């Protein structure tokens, strides 16, 4: 696969001390679906706008298919954008909106007609050709914005929080739809979002950003299973953090003492014995043991909170040392009172060593 976008030490400085984007280097491959994920103010939108040409970096270089486009205006780049508010032209029909970019390319009326037809068919809204944007629903507007952007067959399509204006149900549906569309047209997608589910569902690769820098990049699974920092573990999925101290280390396995017990962990980092660390545990990876069931790598505590969330129960468990963690328990077909453990009941938990995240430093308040 060829590299389509090269970000080479890109920085964006707003004031003497304000760095929007801090020395980011990133390559995007042709046909890839890359997501820039992070909370607001982490620089992800600025980075996207610099790729689109709406802002100029204060340092570094952007190459599109090998060509330096760092300071080219948006209308001279083979890149198109789906805006957060869709930015459909209110005074033009759906058809004219989609055709606009083609007219400016100098396509013949015949070609414009065919390509508008194809693009609208792709998003399933050809019958809306003659309507105005204000006559469409939010989801339809979103699809028209998509059609308008891909009709020019850009090398890269930029999506700025494309689903944030939709309601939850539609958002979920559009996630898969957008992913399928990307596979169908084969265009490179770079999406910005603060929604981790969106990122996990749609992306080939996720770039997690923190304060203008890349916190971690990798496939959704890599990020989920091996978060490189507390920040990433907290941002992607749910993680409870517990204080621990390294007890012993033997070939790749680190034993860590946690309030009244100890767990084995496959640590990615080398730590000295006796070091204060933070343990990260995902509720769905913590298994509640049946009475008398034997297992390795266990902790014990008592139930102090029960949360019902449809799919199952999330149990708050207080360990002997006072620390609290969460464990998920899927429910059988029918929920009866006997499946809900009473508060205060002692329980034992088991975790696979590779599901115990170890981060250096003490737990932050």
Write out the residues near another protein by the rule CB under 8 A. Answer: 52-54, 73-75, 79-81, 83-85, 87-91, 100-101, 104-105, 132, 148-149, 152
Smallest gap, in angstroms, from Cβ of residue 288 to another protein?
49
Smallest gap, in angstroms, from Cβ of residue 332 to another protein?
50
Which residue, 75 or 309, is less far from another protein as judged by CB?
Answer: 75
Per-residue tokens: 127: 């019958």
Which residue, 162 or 261, is less far from another protein as judged by CB?
Answer: 162
User: Which distant-in-sequence residues (6+ apart) come within 8 Å of 189 by Cβ?
Assistant: 32, 33, 34, 156, 157, 159, 178, 182
Smallest gap, in angstroms, from Cβ of residue 83 to another protein?
5
DSSP per residue, 86-139? ----TTS-HHHHHHHHHHHHT--HHHHHHHHHHHHHHTT-GGGTTS-GGGS-HH
Which residue, 152 or 171, is less far from another protein as judged by CB?
Answer: 152
Task: Classify strands 324-330 and 240-250 as parallel, antiparallel or unpaired.
Answer: unpaired
User: Phi/psi zone of residue 6: left (φ > 0), alpha (ψ -120 to 50 degrees), beta?
Assistant: beta
Which residue, 166 or 263, is less far from another protein as judged by CB?
Answer: 166
Smallest gap, in angstroms, from Cβ of residue 251 to another protein?
55
Which residue, 34 or 79, is less far from another protein as judged by CB?
Answer: 79
What number of other Cβ atoms are within 10 A of residue 187's Cβ? 20
- CA–CA separation, 143 vs 148, rounded Å? 9
Per-residue tokens: 126: 């050809």
Smallest gap, in angstroms, from Cβ of residue 248 to another protein?
58
Which residue, 160 or 177, is less far from another protein as judged by CB?
Answer: 160
Contact 356, 329 (CB under 8 A): no
User: Whose CA is closest to 189, among 98, 70, 37, 80?
Assistant: 80
Smallest gap, in angstroms, from Cβ of residue 303 to another protein?
50
User: Whose CA is closest to 47, among 7, 106, 86, 93?
Assistant: 7
């Amino acid at each position: 696969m060829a590299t389509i976008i090269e970000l080479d030490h890109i920085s964006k400085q707003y004031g003497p001390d304000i760095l929007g984007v801090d020395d980011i280097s990133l390559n995007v491959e042709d046909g890839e679906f890359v997501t820039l994920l992070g909370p607001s103010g982490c620089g992800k939108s600025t980075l996207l706008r610099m790729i689109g040409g709406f802002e100029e970096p204060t340092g570094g270089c952007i190459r599109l298919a090998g060509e330096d486009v760092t300071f080219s205006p948006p209308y001279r780049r083979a890149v198109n954008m789906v805006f957060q508010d869709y930015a459909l032209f209110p005074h033009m029909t759906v058809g004219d909106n989609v055709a606009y970019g083609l007219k400016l390319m100098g396509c013949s009326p015949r070609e414009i007609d065919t390509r508008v037809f194809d693009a609208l068919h792709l998003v399933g809204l050809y019958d809306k050709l003659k309507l105005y944007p204000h006559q469409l629903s939010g989801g339809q507007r979103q699809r028209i914005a998509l059609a308008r952007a891909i009709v020019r067959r850009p090398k890269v399509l930029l999506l700025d929080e494309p689903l944030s204006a939709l309601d939850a149900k539609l958002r979920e549906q559009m996630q898969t739809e957008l992913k399928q569309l990307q596979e169908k047209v084969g265009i490179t997608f770079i999406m910005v979002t603060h929604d981790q589910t969106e990122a996990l569902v749609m992306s080939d690769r996720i770039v997690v950003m923190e304060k203008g820098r890349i916190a971690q990049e990798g496939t959704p699974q890599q990020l989920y299973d091996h978060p490189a920092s507390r920040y990433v573990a907290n941002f992607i999925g749910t993680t409870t953090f517990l204080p621990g101290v390294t007890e012993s280390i033997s070939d790749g396995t680190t034993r860590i003492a946690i309030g009244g017990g100890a767990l084995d962990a496959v640590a990615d980092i080398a730590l000295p014995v006796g070091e204060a660390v933070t343990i990260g545990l995902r509720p769905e990876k913590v298994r509640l043991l049946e009475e008398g069931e034997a297992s390795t790598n266990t902790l014990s505590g008592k139930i102090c909170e029960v949360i019902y969330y449809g799919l199952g129960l999330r149990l708050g468990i207080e360990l002997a040392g006072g620390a609290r963690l969460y464990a998920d328990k899927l429910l059988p077909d029918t929920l009866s009172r006997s499946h809900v453990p009473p508060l205060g009941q002692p329980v034992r938990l088991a975790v696979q060593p590779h599901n115990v995240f170890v981060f250096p430093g003490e737990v932050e308040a």
